């Protein structure tokens, strides 16, 4: 019997062009499955090309925990990876697993997933003609950029700790009677957490015996920016200071001009601990205004936690 045309020529799971995702979003489904048969040949080709050109850059600029992670996961260079396969290797190492989502996930839910050792993972892939930059995350960013880091025990514990901070924040603001004050504080706290996350988990640099290395996933999934971040004289790089990171605005649509350096993941874990202490002490209640914007869904996700 001939195979249906949709299986011979699957519609694809291309970012912003995937009917499967549109339907899931329209039905309000956040957590979904990965319908692997829908990936088109172009999707696999995009993954193959992204992976092949990143490999030498990872070897040169990625931190060793990441390189060990890529190896431990046996990450697939030729086809878009199956999350179930990735999880088979990942889960026994740190308890983490990649969990398919339909797209944007409200802030509290995102952090709560980390606390439960799940990583919300986009399953679409950027169009083959746009390998360099896409504002939205895609499976290359999430699985090739983030997931190898989750094989490292100290890094995984740091993410869990970060998720716990979100619970602390939700409990703290739940006790505020005045609604305007509650929204003001929560907006500031979410902004501080998002900035910290951005300057570490997404764009962090780490000191190593061979010089600076990238551990942030935004760098690890960007062919151009990983090199720029490590060697360009246009980037300012400073040892991380918590008070600076939480008050520093960032823009997402160009290479980062300012990056922060940690010494190790134990150092990073200690900073998340400190972040929680600051949260309890009210030091996140009035961070500098500016990016990122905190939207209604993010606020509600904390208020309903």
Residues 217-246 touching Fe ion, rule: CB under 5 A, are 217
60: how many CB neighbours lie within 10 A of its CB?
14
Residues 102-161 touching Fe ion, rule: CB under 5 A, are none
Q: How far is the CB of 130 from Fe ion (least distance, A)?
A: 17
Closest CA to 249 of 213, 288, 275, 216: 288
Residue 34 or 217: the one with the smaller Cβ distance to Fe ion is 217
Interface size with Fe ion, residues (CB under 5 A) = 1
Residue 182 or 225: the one with the smaller Cβ distance to Fe ion is 225
Q: How far is the CB of 141 from Fe ion (least distance, A)?
A: 6
Q: How far is the CB of 39 from Fe ion (least distance, A)?
A: 21
Q: How far is the CB of 202 from Fe ion (least distance, A)?
A: 5
Q: How far is the CB of 197 from Fe ion (least distance, A)?
A: 9
Q: Which residue is nearest to Fe ion (CB)?
A: 217
Q: How far is CA 122 from CA 82, 113, 146, in A?
A: 12, 14, 11
Cis peptide bond prior to 255, omega within 30° of 0: no
Residue 219 or 279: the one with the smaller Cβ distance to Fe ion is 219
Q: How far apart are the two ends of the chain, measured CA to CA in Å?
A: 51
Q: How far is the CB of 33 from Fe ion (least distance, A)?
A: 21
Residue 41 or 136: the one with the smaller Cβ distance to Fe ion is 136
Dig out the tokens for 193 from the structure.
Answer: 């957490």
Distance CA 12, CA 66 (A): 29
Q: How far is the CB of 92 from Fe ion (least distance, A)?
A: 24
Alpha-carbon 111 to chain mean position? 11
Residues 162-221 touching Fe ion, rule: CB under 5 A, are 217
The runs of H, that is alpha helices, within the chain are: 5-8, 19-26, 41-61, 64-73, 83-94, 107-115, 139, 153-174, 179-197, 217-220, 223-231, 242-247, 265-280, 296-303
Site string for Fe ion, 18-57 (x = CB under 5 A): ----------------------------------------
Q: How far is CA 191 from CA 12, 17, 284, 288, 290, in A?
A: 35, 30, 9, 9, 9
Cα-based angle 36, 160, 92 (whole degrees, multiple of 5): 55
Distance CA 64, CA 22 (A): 38
Residue 21 or 201: the one with the smaller Cβ distance to Fe ion is 201
Residue 94 or 217: the one with the smaller Cβ distance to Fe ion is 217
Residue 217 or 285: the one with the smaller Cβ distance to Fe ion is 217
Residues that bind Fe ion (CB under 5 A): 217
């Amino acid at each position: 019997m001939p195979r249906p045309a949709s299986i011979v020529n699957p519609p694809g799971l291309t970012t912003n062009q995937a009917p499967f995702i549109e339907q899931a979003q329209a039905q309000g489904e956040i957590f979904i499955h990965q319908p692997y048969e829908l990936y088109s040949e172009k999707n696999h080709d995009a993954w193959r090309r992204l992976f092949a050109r990143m490999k030498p850059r990872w070897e040169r600029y990625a931190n060793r925990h990441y390189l060990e992670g890529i190896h431990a996961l046996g990450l697939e260079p030729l086809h878009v990876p199956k999350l179930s396969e990735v999880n088979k290797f990942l889960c026994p190492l740190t308890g983490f697993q990649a969990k398919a989502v339909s797209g944007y996930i409200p802030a509290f839910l995102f952090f709560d997933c980390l606390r439960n050792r799940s990583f919300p993972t986009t399953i679409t892939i950027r169009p083959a003609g746009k390998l360099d930059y896409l504002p939205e995350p895609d499976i290359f960013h999430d699985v090739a950029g983030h997931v190898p880091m989750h094989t490292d025990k100290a890094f995984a514990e740091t993410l869990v700790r970060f998720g716990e901070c979100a619970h602390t924040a939700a409990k703290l603001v739940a006790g505020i009677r005045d609604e305007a004050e509650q929204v003001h504080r929560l907006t500031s706290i979410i902004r501080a957490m998002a900035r910290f996350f951005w300057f570490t988990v997404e764009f962090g640099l780490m000191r190593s015996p061979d010089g600076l290395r990238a551990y942030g996933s935004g760098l690890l999934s960007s062919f151009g920016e990983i090199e720029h971040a490590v060697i360009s004289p246009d980037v300012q790089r400073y040892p991380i200071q918590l008070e600076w990171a939480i008050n520093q605005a960032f823009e997402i649509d160009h290479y980062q001009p300012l990056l922060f350096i940690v010494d190790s993941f134990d150092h990073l874990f200690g900073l998340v601990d400190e972040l929680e202490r600051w949260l309890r002490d009210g030091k996140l209640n009035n961070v500098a205004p500016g990016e990122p914007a905190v939207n209604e869904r993010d606020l509600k996700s904390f208020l309903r936690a």
